[in-house]
């Protein structure tokens, strides 16, 4: 059984707030990754150990194996890069250092590079003759929370988030995504003689803020890249490392947050007869909203309605004049989403009217994540390629109640997409927890301060998954 992961800003256990504020970084200087201020940028082909892009193809190996043959050669570089990005996390739309690493590396590999798309977005384009075009996306941002993994490369970074100094950690594994995409981008560049077409590596900001993909679209992404035939993305999840899994159709839920302000009439705590008490009104709404999923959504359809915040008043002897409720809503289809949102508005308005509220309630939708619904044909092609390469370590995944903004990119380009998960947990540790029935307690999921993907085979698997899925589209040469 694969556990539901915690990815997706709207269900974070920490606040996800965006601010283009100043920040402090530790370990910013002295890194040996290209594109960084103060770094040793004198990388040469020899230093990257690049294999000749147009060299002869070894007979007896298929094209995927040809490209993946360089994996061992890049393993040391990739692990170092991963640990560096992990130790230096950046909040959404502030990923300047990570974006510089991505852009500098892509340039070294021979990609045409575009930077600062939206905010810190980067794309690298590798044109390799006539053939299909494949886009692969990795997100780059971290979370405003303290890391508690005890790892030697754990983050000690703090940054400004809406003016407040907060700890920052890669607790969702986007550092893994960056390292895997750069690894795959390098292997595909080095293995150019094994395929034809165009590969686009896209590094997206601010997934946790639900606006990074949107910003790249608004920032003119479509004009910078050739139109892809397919878009791909992946996420490291809390299941055994070495495994990959996907599913056709709805994979990740759509998510919405809604802030509702209801109005009462303030009064002295000793004179309730003069008031319209918003605390009682909010309490009544909180209970009545529980009927939306249980009584209005068709049994068997998925919907989550959580009231994550309810606040009113300042002091015991004052009846406040308003209350605020913050809701989180998850669904797997747009009809259910509309039904739930309409029911919330109807119930809240009705309760306000019943209470004699002096003013209509205010509804504010924010942090919207679209539904991630995998194209069946594109998914079938990736699934078949995964089965060929990973054997019984490729499987079907359950739907995840987490959410993503990736689909805004393919949807804006009018192209199909597929999104898959790969494991990040030490297989032995996972097997022990599974045998003891303690997976929930002992295996930290995404957004936990203890989330600590094992470096390998996680990086190897995530890198191979990109190469395998990409080459399921590209024209291969054997």
Point out which span in 167-175, 245-253, 289-297, 422-430 binds Zn ion (CB under 5 A). 167-175
For the CA atoms of the chain, what is the radius of gyration?
Answer: 24
* Rounded-to-integer distance, Cα 157 and Cα 175, Å: 14
178 near Zn ion, rule: CB under 5 A: no
417 phi, psi to nearest 5 deg: -145, 160
Point out which span in 89-97, 165-173, 269-277, 459-467 binds Zn ion (CB under 5 A). 165-173
Closest contact distance (angstroms) between CB of 400 and Zn ion is 11
Q: Could you tell me how many residues of this chain bind Zn ion (CB under 5 A)?
A: 2
169 near Zn ion, rule: CB under 5 A: no
Residues 1-20 that bind Zn ion (CB under 5 A): 7
Closest contact distance (angstroms) between CB of 281 and Zn ion is 34
Using Cβ positions, the residue closest to Zn ion within the complex turns out to be 172
Closest contact distance (angstroms) between CB of 96 and Zn ion is 19
Nearer to Zn ion, 7 or 464 (CB): 7
Nearer to Zn ion, 277 or 405 (CB): 405
36 near Zn ion, rule: CB under 5 A: no
Nearer to Zn ion, 117 or 255 (CB): 255
Closest contact distance (angstroms) between CB of 462 and Zn ion is 13
Closest contact distance (angstroms) between CB of 369 and Zn ion is 11
Closest contact distance (angstroms) between CB of 411 and Zn ion is 19
Nearer to Zn ion, 31 or 446 (CB): 446
Contact criterion met (CB below 8 Å) for 322 and 280: no
Nearer to Zn ion, 114 or 214 (CB): 214
Whole-Å CA distances, 331 to 247, 253, 288, 295: 17, 5, 19, 16
- Residue 118's region, left for phi above 0, alpha for psi from -120 to 50, else beta, is left
179 near Zn ion, rule: CB under 5 A: no
Residues 381-400 that bind Zn ion (CB under 5 A): none
Mention every residue, 6+ apart, whose C-beta is less than 8 A from residue 462.
176, 177, 179, 180, 183, 234, 236, 422
* Rounded-to-integer distance, Cα 125 and Cα 111, Å: 5
Closest contact distance (angstroms) between CB of 422 and Zn ion is 13
213 near Zn ion, rule: CB under 5 A: no
Using alpha carbons, select from 102, 120, 98, 119 the residue that is nearest to residue 111: 102
Q: Which residues pair with 324 in a beta bridge?
A: 261, 311
Nearer to Zn ion, 351 or 408 (CB): 408
Burial class (CB in 10 A: 0-12, 13-18, 19+), 20: exposed
Place of tokens 């340039």: 107
Nearer to Zn ion, 194 or 446 (CB): 446
172 near Zn ion, rule: CB under 5 A: yes
Nearer to Zn ion, 92 or 264 (CB): 92
* Rounded-to-integer distance, Cα 330 and Cα 337, Å: 8
Closest contact distance (angstroms) between CB of 242 and Zn ion is 20
Whole-Å CA distances, 259 to 278, 310, 314, 362: 15, 10, 19, 8
Cis peptide before 457 (omega within 30 of 0): yes
Nearer to Zn ion, 188 or 216 (CB): 216
- Give the binding site for Zn ion (CB under 5 A): 7, 172
């Amino acid at each position: 059984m694969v556990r539901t992961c915690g990815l997706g800003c709207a269900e974070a256990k920490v606040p996800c707030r965006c601010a283009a504020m100043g920040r402090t970084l530790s370990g910013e200087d002295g890194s040996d990754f290209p594109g960084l201020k103060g770094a040793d940028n004198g990388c040469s082909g020899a230093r990257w150990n690049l294999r000749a892009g147009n060299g002869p193809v070894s007979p007896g190996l298929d094209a995927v194996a040809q490209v993946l043959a360089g994996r061992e050669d890049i393993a040391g570089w990739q692990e170092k890069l991963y640990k560096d990005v992990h130790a230096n996390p950046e909040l959404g739309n502030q990923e300047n250092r990570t974006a510089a690493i991505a852009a500098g590396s892509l340039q070294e590999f021979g990609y045409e590079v575009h930077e600062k798309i939206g905010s810190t977005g980067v794309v690298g384009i590798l044109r390799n003759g006539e053939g299909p075009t494949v886009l692969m996306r990795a997100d780059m941002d971290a979370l405003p929370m303290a890391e508690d993994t005890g790892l030697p490369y754990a983050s000690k970074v703090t940054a400004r988030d809406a003016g407040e100094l907060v700890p920052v950690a890669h607790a969702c594994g986007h550092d893994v995504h960056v390292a895997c995409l750069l690894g795959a981008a390098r292997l595909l560049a080095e293995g150019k003689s094994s395929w034809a077409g165009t590969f686009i590596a896209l590094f997206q900001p601010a997934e946790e803020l639900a606006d990074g993909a949107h910003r790249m679209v608004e920032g003119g992404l479509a004009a910078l890249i050739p139109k892809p035939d397919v878009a791909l993305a992946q996420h490291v999840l809390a299941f055994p490392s070495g495994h990959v899994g996907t599913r056709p159709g709805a994979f990740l839920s759509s998510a919405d947050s809604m802030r509702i302000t209801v109005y009462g009439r303030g009064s002295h705590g000793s004179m309730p007869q003069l008031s319209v008490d918003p605390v009682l009104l909010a309490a009544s709404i909180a209970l009545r909203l529980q009927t939306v999923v249980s009584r209005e959504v068709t049994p068997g359809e998925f919907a989550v309605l959580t009231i994550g915040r309810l606040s009113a008043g300042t002091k015991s002897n004052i009846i406040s004049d308003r209350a605020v409720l913050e809701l989180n809503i998850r669904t797997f289809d747009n009809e259910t989403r509309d039904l739930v949102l309409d029911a919330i508005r109807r119930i809240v308005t009705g309760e306000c009217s019943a209470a004699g509220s002096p003013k209509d309630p205010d509804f504010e939708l924010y942090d919207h994540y679209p539904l991630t619904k995998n194209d069946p044909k594109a998914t079938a092609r990736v699934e078949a390629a995964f089965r060929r390469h990973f054997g019984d370590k490729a499987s079907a995944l359950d739907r995840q109640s987490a959410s993503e903004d990736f689909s805004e990119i393919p949807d804006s380009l009018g192209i199909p997409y597929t999104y898959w998960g790969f494991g990040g947990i030490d297989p032995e540790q996972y097997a022990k927890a599974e045998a003891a029935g303690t997976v929930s307690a002992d295996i930290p999921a995404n957004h936990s301060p203890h989330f600590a993907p094992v470096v390998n085979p996680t990086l190897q698997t995530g890198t191979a998954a990109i190469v395998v899925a990409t080459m399921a589209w590209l024209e291969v040469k054997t």
